[in-house]
A and B are shown apart, each in its own frame.
Chain A
Amino acid sequence: MLKDITIGQYYVADSVIHRLDPRTKILLVLGYIVMLFFAKDLVGMIPAFLLLAAAYLLAKIPGRMILKSIKPILPILLLTGVLNLFFVKTGQLLVDVWFIKIYEDGIRHALLLMVRILLLIVSSSLLTYTTSPISLTDGIKRLLSPLKAVRFPAHELAMMMTLALRFIPTLIEETEKIMNAQKARGADLESGGLLTRVRSLVPIFIPLFVSAFRRAEELALAMDCRCYQGDTGRTRMKQLHFGLSDLLAALVVVLCMVLVMTMPRII
């Protein structure tokens, strides 16, 4: 059923990582990703890997969640690996069978890239696992708000995200209802060629759009009645505070960054 789709992938738990300020988490994940690209060697990836492993342990996220986030990118991961394996032609020639030639650098390069992509995905998943959509939007908004000086609509963007999150489940439910109603009138949504199938979506999409516009209109009215005037003079019930744990987290990540960049040289 369509309803089963969960929006966002917030994993409810109480942990140090969950309690961090969303802004800290966003910035640190961004920093972490940049760091992944600085590592020139697999050895350099070791601290990055350890840091992420420690963060997952602290966040009390079970292993199956990590697997779940890796699953959809598995094909891309393998493809990148294989391509690099065959196309890097430097270093010592290791395998030479028929037209397949694999070089030492090829293996190294393929592994590095795969680990990099893997850590990238798993680290950004940590952000969405430990931060609710609300605080995520809030964090993004606060981080973007300095850009308001150059007329960047930070508040509007955040509001749009919130409303989208709010109404996606409602519209999914509605789609299901409309599909049922049209099926009850004998609409055939499953068979036929591409063109027939596209055409069979018309009775679903038109009512859905009509309803979405009606909802938007009513919502705008309701927001107006609740004195919504955009960002002007608006306060927030939940304030964000950088705390000691945010500082510590930042220090740990920075330390890790230094390690990653210097590690290959040390060894």
Chain B
Amino acid sequence: MTNQEPMIRAEGLYYAYETEQNAPLPIFEGLDFVVHKGEFVAVLGHNGSGKSTLAKCFNGILVPDRGRVLVEDLDTAVEETLYDLRRKVGMVFQNPDNQIVATQVEEDVAFAPENLGIEPKEIRRRVDEALEAVGMSHEKLSAPHNLSGGQKQRVAIAGIIAMRPDCIVMDEPTAMLDPRGRREVISCIEMLRKEYGITVVLITHYMDEAAKADRIAVMDDGKILMEGTPKEVFRNVARLKELGLDVPQATELAHLLREQGADLPDDLLSEEEFVEAFSKLVSPGKEQTTQPMPSLLDPEEIAPSEIALRSEDLSYVYTQGGILKKPALQNVSFSVKKGSMIGLIGHTGSGKSTLVQQFNGLLKPTSGKMLVGESDIWADSKKLRAFRFRVGVVFQYPEYQLFEETVAKDIAFGPKNMGLSEEEIKRRVETAAKRVGLTNELLAKSPMDLSGGEKRRAAIAGIMAMEPEILVLDEPTAGLDPKGREAILSDIRRYQKESQSTVILVSHSMEDIARFTDRVLVLESGNLVADCPTRSIFSAAELLERIGLSLPQVTKIFERLQKMNYPLPSNVLSCQEGADLLKPLLGL
């Protein structure tokens, strides 16, 4: 489908951001970039590498200081043709909520064609077609705020398709979505390419999404550092890691084995490719090594004095207008051991968020109990507040709760509410800030002046400063780039080791769960369906698939290998572990 005719040409771009006090901050200094017609280009790079700025140059939201951007033959700097150009190059942003204009799905999709002054009948046709294309026809009369994230993002895409653009530029369209939403949006993009031959520019932090592209461009510091097919780009494992980027796990696994001298190709992207290459080197065994399926409801025996948090037959039913609605949690019982690191997984709507709000008494159980140590948190509702300091909860996107003039004051908000002395507050703020790597210089700044990752760390420090016995983090890495994700997770790990406290990590990312937790709790439609060591859950591919979470690629590879009768376990958690298991088979 790709031909060499250019769709967008950026020639010798110079662009600098105006800053309030200092000299303009240069982003591009002579950047060239071409997007060809019908092509699917993925742009990778950590936050601040200039990817979003480049995207905004493509449809004239930003106009370069020097150099030019041409869309076919239209220059983005020419005012008169700006709307012709925007019709050709549509743009989808990260936050689906902030792109939807109307109170009804079909009205929203009609927004752009209406702006273009198209005939009502034709608009109707385009709206129906666009909604059909993204699979949202059945929701055309719904109110956007009642849709899931993935659905909203598909409506936003339909709103762009209704303009009949030649090219869609997407700026991290899946960053705020759960795994199911991400899959919906990605298959939507693939369909657009197949059915309409639309040119797609996808800015993303997810390597599995980039691996589907025709071409990848890696950006750093306003420059294109690497360009080529996914195979050509991802083979530079060491270089990409240096830039703070990930590679697909299949590539990484092969890379680790190659370092040990294995004769595997360096451009393997998918699990199929890896398994095929591996089976050429090593022939499988005769018989399948069957592993007994570990029990998923395998609660740990914990001495009563060692229990940090306990849920006893807890149920919660949401009420609406005095009428009981569908139960959000049903007879959930579990215990969490002091000093452990627990993963809580489940899809959006599984009751996970409801359970998190039970941990610190933001919601009161309809029946059953939630206990911190030995004490029922609802025994005396006047003393409830004290439990909020013992169970510190970091909600999703916690940076939106920052409000004080300085970061230090904001971190002090929790300790101050505890009624601690000035010196103690000071000590706690300093310790917490150090734990998340915030410098004194940053502490004196306004929270609004920090970068996204820094804000997130400041918000987490605000909870850590209360020095809770139990720290609960709901999706602490959501929306961050790989570097930011890594930094936050290792901060949490270090905090847990140093403070010896209990940590509960709520996450959609099975990779993070695999790397950081000892045990997991799994919720499915309000029921606790698993309470077991983390490794056991990686044998339960079916369950994970059912609840909309997917196994890490490396686990999938081992699952295939095991099915092909290789004497290997299937529940492998990390690339390093996988490499160690494969080495003996390769005779290394």
Contacts and interface: CB of A to CB of B under 8 A. Distances in A.
A173 B163 CA distance: 31
A218 interface: yes
Contact-residue bracket for chain B? 35 or more
A206 B403 contact: yes
Interface in A170-229: 170, 173-174, 177-178, 180-188, 202-203, 206-207, 210-211, 215, 218-219, 221-229
A163 B93 CA distance: 18
Contacts of B450: none
A236 B124 CA distance: 10
Interface string B289-329: 00000000000000000000000000000101100000000
B114 A134 contact: no
A237 B102 contact: no
A166 B144 contact: yes
B418 interface: yes
B351 interface: no
A239 interface: yes
Nearest to B119: A235
A226 B385 contact: no
A233 interface: yes
A4 interface: yes
Interface stretch (B18-26, B84-92, B227-235, B239-247): B84-92
A238 B61 contact: no
Contact of B101 (A223, A229, A233): A223
A106 to B, nearest CB: 40
Contacts of A178: 400-401
B431 interface: no
Interface string B106-117: 110011111111
Contacts of B401: 178, 181-182, 185, 203, 207
A186 B117 contact: no
Contacts of B392: 184
Nearest to B113: A237
B400 A186 contact: no
A128 interface: no
Interface string B517-554: 00000000000000000000000000000000000000
B414 A185 contact: yes
Given A180-B357, A184-B463, A237-B114, A4 B101 contact: no
Contact of B107 (A182, A203, A228, A237): A237
A235 B114 contact: yes
A186 B425 CA distance: 14
Contacts of A228: 111, 115
Contact-residue bracket for chain A? 35 or more
Contacts of A173: 145
Interface string B172-190: 0000000000000000000
A235 B418 contact: no
B114 A186 contact: no
A75 B99 CA distance: 43
A4 B120 contact: no
Nearest to B417: A186
Interface in B118-139: 118-120, 123-124, 127
A188 B382 CA distance: 12
B400 A203 contact: no
A65 B163 CA distance: 42
A153 interface: no
B448 A162 contact: no
A203 B413 contact: yes
B59 interface: yes
A237 B120 contact: yes
B103 A210 contact: no
B142 to A, nearest CB: 12
A179 to B, nearest CB: 9
28 contacts: A1-B318, A134-B107, A166-B102, A166-B103, A170-B145, A180-B357, A181-B395, A184-B463, A187-B417, A188-B417, A203-B403, A207-B400, A215-B98, A218-B95, A218-B98, A225-B160, A226-B90, A226-B111, A227-B112, A227-B116, A229-B83, A233-B117, A234-B114, A235-B118, A235-B119, A236-B120, A238-B110, A238-B120
